[in-house]
Amino acid sequence: MTQIRLHYHTRDEITEKARSGSAVVVPLAATEQHGPHLPVFTDSLICEHIAAEAVRQAAESVPVLVSPVLTIGCSHHHLNFGGTLSYTSATYLQMLRDIGESLITDGFQKIIFLNAHGGNDPIMMQTANDLAVRYPVWTAAASYWSISRSALTACNAAEVGMVPGHAGGFETAAILALHPELVRTERFAESHISRPWINSGPAGTFIGKHKELTGFDGYTDAPNKATAELGSRYLGVIAGSVSAWLVSTIQAMTEGGN
């Protein structure tokens, strides 16, 4: 079986992968509060699964590796609730640039950021743009929910709550599928004041208020409709969508040349 994890290879093997035109997926996640019922590592657990499975599928068609997951992100809007590790936006931007430049120094010319935490998204997009402006490389960036939105709609993922929401039914279902022992089901709320941390207005808009960027009490909707079976279905849909996006993106990069 092809080893898809960049960090399991030696330096010489990585150099050869870069020379042969392999792309690298850099997964971005977070360590932050997820209400009273989910572990703070929720985004990282989901990210690791989606990135590994999507790259595994994509590697059957295109040369691609996945780097270690960045398990701390830009999460300052969760600090008030405790249990959160976060970089400032300026620090995170520099970190992502440093990682991109490290991969470029290693010889890679196709760098793809795959995100699983909302606070990282705008900084990731800026980084991908900055790297492509400064260096003769291809970059791409997307959050998993943007890639899989239509597929998740088709499988009725909103039946459990906001998609992806924060610590609501959707993320709870995913963790029940991946690590049920980490879910505090006794802390489930049967009802919740649904209040998204970002407005649901037109794409490209933002409305926010101090201390109200995380949903009511730090999560967006009640988790009580979540099941492991539903979570497994949603994760499968996401991995398939992300894999297809990776294949088409890497093929376009390859066909586009240097």
pLDDT per position as a tens digit, 86-123 = 999 999 999 999 999 999 999 999 999 999 999 999 99
**pLDDT in the model for residue 157:** 97
Q: Which CATH class is domain 6-256?
A: alpha beta
Whether the link from the prior residue into 164 is cis, omega within 30° of 0, is yes
**pLDDT in the model for residue 208:** 65
Indicate the helix (H) or strand (E) that contains 170: helix 169-178
**pLDDT in the model for residue 212:** 65
Predicted TM-score of the model (pTM)? 0.93
Contact 225, 169 (CB under 8 A): yes
Taking alpha carbons only, the member of 102, 117, 108, 163 closest to residue 140 is 108
Which two tokens mark 223? 């988790």
**pLDDT in the model for residue 67:** 98
Which two tokens mark 205? 């808009």
**pLDDT in the model for residue 256:** 86
> How far is it, in rounded angstroms, from Cα 253 to Cα 242?
16
Rg of the chain over all Cα atoms, to the nearest angstrom: 18
The mean pLDDT of the chain is: 93
CA distances from 248 to 5, 64, 139, 232, 251 (A): 20, 12, 13, 25, 5
In tens digits, the chain (258 residues) has pLDDT values of 689 999 999 999 999 999 999 999 999 999 999 999 999 999 999 999 999 999 999 999 999 999 999 999 999 999 999 999 999 999 999 999 999 999 999 999 999 999 999 999 999 999 999 999 999 999 999 999 999 999 999 999 999 999 999 999 999 999 999 999 999 999 887 666 665 555 555 666 666 666 666 767 788 889 999 999 999 999 999 999 999 999 999 999 999 876
**pLDDT in the model for residue 241:** 98
Q: One-letter amino acid identity for 96?
A: L
Angle, vertex CA 118, rays to CA 128 and CA 206, nearest 5 = 95
